[in-house]
Structure 1
Amino acid sequence: MPIGWFSLVRQGRFDWGLRNEPEEATDGRVWPQPRGKLLGGTSSINGMMYSRGVAADYDGWAAAGLAGWDYASVLPYFRRSETNWRGAGDYHGGDGPLRVERQRAAQPFYDGIVAAGRALGYRENDDFNGAGAGGFGMPDFTVHRGRRHSSADAFLAAARSRPNLVVQTGATATRILFDGDRATGVEYARDGQLHRAEADGEVIVAGGAYHSPHLLMLSGIGEAAMLQRHGIGVVADLPAVGQDLQDHPMVGAGYAARGTATFERALRLDRLALAAVDWALRGRGPLAGQPMSAQAFVNVLGDGDWPDVQVQVSHVSMMAQPWFPLWRKGAGHQIGVGALQLQPEGRGEITLRSADPADAPRVRLGLLATEGDRRAAREMVRFIRRLFATAAASELVSAELFPGPAAQSDAELDAVIRATIMTGSHPTSSCAMAAGNGGVLDAELRVKGVRGLRVADASAIPRVPRGNTNAPAIMIAEKASDLILGRAPLPRAAITQTPIGGDRSKEFA
């Protein structure tokens, strides 16, 4: 059930239970870092938003020396992976495994937010992954017939009958096996016993931005001195393993809604029960989508052309839950807003807690580590306030609940931000591709310094893209499949993407 992702993240049943390390810049706070502990990984617990980033992201990878990763080269892999509700076209696929669907705009919220954006100089955009990257509109979601469409649904289900595929659940990889500098297999724990899976060809690691570097370090690939401190034999001295962790810092705001048309209505227990029946029988209704009002990709922090902030507006409180008179109070009719810094300066890291594979890695996020990031966080809060000060948006709300009118100065905003900032849960780059001797991977996703080992997930990304990371991770896997099989790359696309849109009738404010 798409709306159920709130509950999935909160309960932690299908999560690895990772938490960040306390850091002074965020008042020593520790909070969950959700990563999916089930088939499909985090695509089985995420918010299902389909967002690729922008052309400038991938062209930047190529400019840094990573041939074959420019926008024209990766767009065909995005297209190959999806069946988009728009059908096949220049920017979208029509017969791929992953279903990407639209969501009906909720009124009056969508029209009000889009009108507010227009008042600030931003155009309406009906496809953030199409000809233009910026503006206000509704995102797409990886949903099919009212149900989540994870990577397990899209790719694994159809392959389960293949004789060369064995799926081991309830199994934890403990180390990669080597013969000299060649990867020969994987050791894993299952039902209290250690097992081995031998590789005739290559070993492919796809544990994500937290677990892939963790597994490499447990296997002797990382900074030599650190590995030796933990009693791990060095297979390859690669100091970049676990470094350069990137995520999108996210600040929030909340408003009291004017009127009672928010998603809070659907959460009344009797209405919720009827909606659940409608969803189960027809895959429709309020539980088959997300309570999102609108999304925007805007330029707030600099004078560049490409978006640097992603804004998400939802007509529901983040504290919302089922309610009923005389049973439990609801959270109230509210509008929640999150703003994500798309190109942060700060960097985090993944390090070993011990040599025991059962010990979770240490996750340091590096939020608010630079003055540039602290300024960006303040400016994002102020942009939200400018948006809701427009005539169109002010008709939707009656008061700012958070951060609240008392937080105005830089110092006051900084205090609120330190106490509340989180991330978009878009971790990348901890096993990054890089040209030359830097990084962890080469441009074909091969781990440097060893043979027969690749990493194919979001940890390979050189710089976090300007958007959500599930779609880029799937694109990387599509491209990896051709690299592993020695196939020629798909033909490059003959089109590109502009910051605003095809007609560029509205420029950034």
Structure 2
Amino acid sequence: MRGCRKMADTAPSENFDYIIVGAGSAGCVVAARLSEDPNVNVLLLEAGGKDDHVYLKMPVAFLKAVPDPRFNWPYMTEPEPHLNNRQMPLPRGKVMGGSSSINGMFAMRGHHRDYDQWAQMGARGWSYSEVLPYFKKLENSWRGEGPYHGADGPMQVRPIESPLLHHEPLMEAAEGAGFHTSDDLAGRKQDGFARGEMTVDDRGRRVSASTAYLNPAKGRRNLEIRSGVLVRKMAFEGKRCVGVEIDTPDGPRVIRARREVVISGGTYNSPHLLMLSGIGPAEHLREMGVEVLHDSPGVGQNLQEHANVSMEWFAKSPVTFLNQLRWDKLAVNAVKWALFGKGSLALQLNSCNVVIKTRENLDRPDIQFMANPIRFDAETWFPFLKPGQEHVFWAGLVALHPDSRGWVRLKSKDPQDVASVTLNLMAEESDLATMRAAIRAARKIYNTAPQSKLIGEERMPGINVDSDAELDAFIRETCYVAMHPTSTCAMGMGERSVVDPELKVIGVEGLRIADCSVMPTVPGGNTGLPAVMVGEKCADLIKGQSLPAAEEAASQAA
């Protein structure tokens, strides 16, 4: 019967109260929080494998983990129409913990106006005062308990501190360059030059959603975690989601959910699963040979990503982190890290987190500099055998609030085919203008004392690349992704909303989404902690409860 969507499985089905698809930044949270109730049983499914490799534990090794195909979905953009038809890799964690197991561990939330904008767009319950309690709930901050921070949450957050990272020269350059500093970008003053923070524990190990939420929950008898399981699509009876269809050696099989299914596949995989299940733009689904269950034109649309452009300066003297990559120092620090969680390998290599406005009339920062005292292509070196590279300071310039929008579509109805992704970066002139302003601001900052005492000639793009046209050409040729995709199953989009403010998929029953795809707009910062926040809030929504809003703290944020 077409209306019932005949199940693929003829054997007796397994049954759980809740099924969570995807053990990523939000999925781990939802599974762990729901299983706190001993009266329900929860199944968490992950297509990837275990997160026990050293690259997923050692902080500085994230540079190795990000491109490693063992831990990633094989996503690549389609030829980008406004970036000279370049195709770019799109690292997304295919492992327990998802992208929280491979990312740069940067702990940021974005600006308070980002979340107030969500509420103004129609995402009721997602204003800054309403999400702040969930940011506090997830956090075990080095700052301790306070109006903006939590001390008892699963995600440990520590400052990035080391004399190797040259933090002070950038902080001291702020005022001279016409900017200011902040003691806490998650506190009252949410822009400026600040010390970066990272999700690394006291033993020098990465804190992911898997280590923070799943590891303490693994002993619960009512939580079952399965890795290496590909979900083909959602199973429906009429318009009610009753489970998931998975791949097995014996063919597709259905696992049933008595209460709800929560998709936490991420910004690319969640719309992909919806479309494979017949929920999406009807015309596109028919073109792909997928039977339409519910015409939802917003599925896969509204894709946003932080564009990133690199700048580099030659160092005046050999003082960068490249010194730590000499093979003997690397070996000593590997032992320090393994035994004591100390040394240079326990770091995130950020000198200073610079979050600023390029125009005074803006209501929040529009660019972020990820300032790093090491070249982007740094390699291990061996005296006399493999000489070290030239010392270089690098900054990644991030456009925080893009106007350009991309899309996610099916390549086919085969679940083994990953989705087609077009980011459509730099489609809007305003995004090019923002990035040009970022490059000019970076030049001003790096050429202001005392930072200017460390750098010599601009290596990339080079000081002669200066006109708007020259900078635009450089941006289109070199722009890449910050790995912060959002908004392909967004709430608060009117007729194109995919989920409602309770994260329920509109047009069907028994199905929610919890990941960055539900965000109406991309937050102005790294999306790791916001994804965990979505998981925390989703679990409470399922339980029918909510933390009280933090009105007083929200009113004092600037």
**Counterpart secondary structure, 1:418:** helix
1:374 to 424, 432, 436: 432
2:195 to 135, 138, 153: 138
Q: Deviations over 1:278-332 (max 9, x none)?
A: 0011001100012211111100146213111111110001101111123323332
Q: Deviations over 1:48-82 (max 9, x none)?
A: 00100111011111112222111111100111111
Query: Structure 1 pair 400/288, CA: closer, same or farther in 2 (3 Å)?
Result: same
Other-structure match for 1:291: 349
Q: Take 2:359 and 2:265, find their aligned partners in 1: how far apart are those partners?
A: 33
Q: Give the counterpart letter for 1:287 in structure 2.
A: L
1:310 to 354, 368, 371: 368
Contact 1:100 1:143 in 2 (8 A): yes
Query: Structure 1 pair 312/499, CA: closer, same or farther in 2 (3 Å)?
Result: farther
Q: Take 1:81 and 1:457, find their aligned partners in 2: how far apart are those partners?
A: 15
Q: Give the counterpart letter for 1:396 in structure 2.
A: L
Q: Deviations over 1:30-57 (max 9, x none)?
A: 1210000100000000000010011101
Contact 1:52 1:471 in 2 (8 A): yes
**Counterpart secondary structure, 1:87:** coil
Residue 60 (str. 1) matches residue 121 (str. 2):
no
Q: Give the counterpart letter for 1:427 in structure 2.
A: P
Other-structure match for 2:159: 102
Q: Take 1:99 and 1:203, find their aligned partners in 2: how far apart are those partners?
A: 29
Other-structure match for 1:46: 103
Residue 253 (str. 1) matches residue 311 (str. 2):
yes
Contact 1:447 1:455 in 2 (8 A): yes
Other-structure match for 1:503: none
Other-structure match for 2:482: 424
Q: Return the offset for 1:259.
A: 1.7
1:201 to 244, 247, 259: 259
2:403 to 337, 345, 350: 345
Other-structure match for 1:506: none
Q: Return the offset for 1:192.
A: 6.4
Q: Take 1:275 and 1:488, find their aligned partners in 2: how far apart are those partners?
A: 45
Q: Take 2:119 and 2:538, find their aligned partners in 1: how far apart are those partners?
A: 16
Q: Give the counterpart letter for 1:424 in structure 2.
A: A
**Within-5 A mapping of 1:178-327:** 178-191=236-249, 193-301=251-359, 303-327=361-385
Other-structure match for 1:113: 170
Instruction: List gaps (5 residues or longer) in structure 1.
Output: 501-509
Q: Return the offset for 1:475.
A: 0.6
Q: Take 1:100 and 1:481, find their aligned partners in 2: how far apart are those partners?
A: 22
Q: Give the counterpart letter for 2:87 in structure 1.
A: V
Q: Deviations over 1:18-39 (max 9, x none)?
A: 1111123101111210000100
Residue 472 (str. 1) matches residue 472 (str. 2):
no
Contact 1:232 1:355 in 2 (8 A): yes
Q: Return the offset for 1:406.
A: 2.4
Q: Give the counterpart letter for 1:474 in structure 2.
A: V
Other-structure match for 1:73: 130
Q: Give the counterpart letter for 1:253 in structure 2.
A: M
Residue 357 (str. 1) matches residue 415 (str. 2):
yes
Contact 1:319 1:331 in 2 (8 A): no
Q: Return the offset for 1:437.
A: 3.3
Q: Return the offset for 1:399.
A: 1.1
Q: Give the counterpart letter for 1:252 in structure 2.
A: S
Q: Take 1:435 and 1:400, find their aligned partners in 2: how far apart are those partners?
A: 43
TM-score (norm 2): 0.87
Q: Take 2:320 and 2:250, find their aligned partners in 1: how far apart are those partners?
A: 49
Q: Take 2:457 and 2:516, find their aligned partners in 1: how far apart are those partners?
A: 39
Other-structure match for 1:21: 78
Residue 90 (str. 1) matches residue 125 (str. 2):
no
Q: Deviations over 1:361-414 (max 9, x none)?
A: 011011110111111121111111111221322101011100012211111111
Q: Return the offset for 1:111.
A: 1.3
Q: Take 1:376 and 1:269, find their aligned partners in 2: how far apart are those partners?
A: 40
Instruction: Tell me how many residue pairs correspond in the alignment.
Output: 500
1:163 to 221, 235, 254: 221
Other-structure match for 2:554: 496
Q: Take 1:331 and 1:236, find their aligned partners in 2: how far apart are those partners?
A: 56
Q: Take 1:350 and 1:292, find their aligned partners in 2: how far apart are those partners?
A: 32
1:392 to 419, 437, 450: 450
Q: Take 2:543 and 2:552, find their aligned partners in 1: how far apart are those partners?
A: 25
Q: Take 2:66 and 2:362, find their aligned partners in 1: how far apart are those partners?
A: 35
Q: Take 1:263 and 1:82, find their aligned partners in 2: how far apart are those partners?
A: 29
Query: Structure 1 pair 190/494, CA: closer, same or farther in 2 (3 Å)?
Result: farther
**Counterpart secondary structure, 1:99:** strand
Query: Structure 1 pair 326/13, CA: closer, same or farther in 2 (3 Å)?
Result: farther
Q: Take 1:182 and 1:327, find their aligned partners in 2: how far apart are those partners?
A: 65
Q: Return the offset for 1:485.
A: 1.1
Q: Take 2:175 and 2:402, find their aligned partners in 1: how far apart are those partners?
A: 26
Q: Return the offset for 1:123.
A: 2.0
Q: Give the counterpart letter for 1:235 in structure 2.
A: L
Instruction: List gaps (5 residues or longer) in structure 2.
Output: 1-57
Q: Give the counterpart letter for 2:120 in structure 1.
A: A
In terms of mean alpha carbon deviation, does 202-211 or 300-309 score higher?
300-309
Contact 2:165 2:321 in 1 (8 A): no
**Within-5 A mapping of 1:114-129:** 114-129=171-186
TM-score (norm 1): 0.96
Query: Structure 1 pair 105/118, CA: closer, same or farther in 2 (3 Å)?
Result: farther
CA RMSD between the two structures = 1.5
Q: Take 2:200 and 2:416, find their aligned partners in 1: how far apart are those partners?
A: 34
Residue 442 (str. 1) matches residue 506 (str. 2):
no
Q: Give the counterpart letter for 2:272 in structure 1.
A: H
In terms of mean alpha carbon deviation, does 480-489 or 316-325 score higher?
480-489
Contact 1:298 1:307 in 2 (8 A): yes
In terms of mean alpha carbon deviation, does 233-242 or 372-381 score higher?
372-381
Q: Take 2:370 and 2:248, find their aligned partners in 1: how far apart are those partners?
A: 41
Q: Take 2:551 and 2:157, find their aligned partners in 1: how far apart are those partners?
A: 21
**Counterpart secondary structure, 2:160:** coil
Other-structure match for 1:507: none
Query: Structure 1 pair 214/477, CA: closer, same or farther in 2 (3 Å)?
Result: same
Q: Take 1:39 and 1:497, find their aligned partners in 2: how far apart are those partners?
A: 38
Contact 1:223 1:240 in 2 (8 A): yes
In terms of mean alpha carbon deviation, does 387-396 or 140-149 score higher?
387-396
**Counterpart secondary structure, 1:26:** coil
Instruction: State the identity %.
Output: 42
Residue 32 (str. 1) matches residue 72 (str. 2):
no
